[in-house]
Amino acid sequence: MEFINSDYHARLRAALSSRFASVSWQRCQFLLQRNAMAFVPRAEGTADLRVILDSPERTEAECRLQLVAEKYKARGGRTDGVHFSAQSLAPAVHVEPGGAA
């Protein structure tokens, strides 16, 4: 097995990490987008999320994420209900060994 693709569920990740310690983990982009759409406007949010996920490197994804989060917070939008942070989003861009995020 080369890598595991799953949702950002803490207990699932812990189980995967303990059972498959040498296997890389990647957050499922579909589930991330579905979760995020409950907190941001659909059309604009989809475009903003795509820009983040299409980042070639983790550091760029983190910078783009910060800008998008600030944009929606400034509008009074909720960004706290989904794991909308660099720690949780970056694995969708960068596969990390051993399930560590």
Q: Does residue 70 register a pLDDT over 70? A: yes
10-42 tens-digit pLDDT? 888 888 888 988 888 888 888 888 877 777 777
Structural domain total, the chain: 1
Provide the domain limits for residue 29. 3-98
The answer to whether 72 touches 64, Cβ cutoff 8 Å, is no
Q: 33 CB contacts (<8 Å, ≥6 apart)?
A: 46, 49, 53
- Cα–Cα–Cα angle for 37, 57, 89, nearest 5°? 30
Rounded Cα distance between 66 and 91, Å, is 15
Query: What's residue 77's pLDDT?
Result: 64
pLDDT band at 95 (very low <50, low <70, confident <90, very high): very low
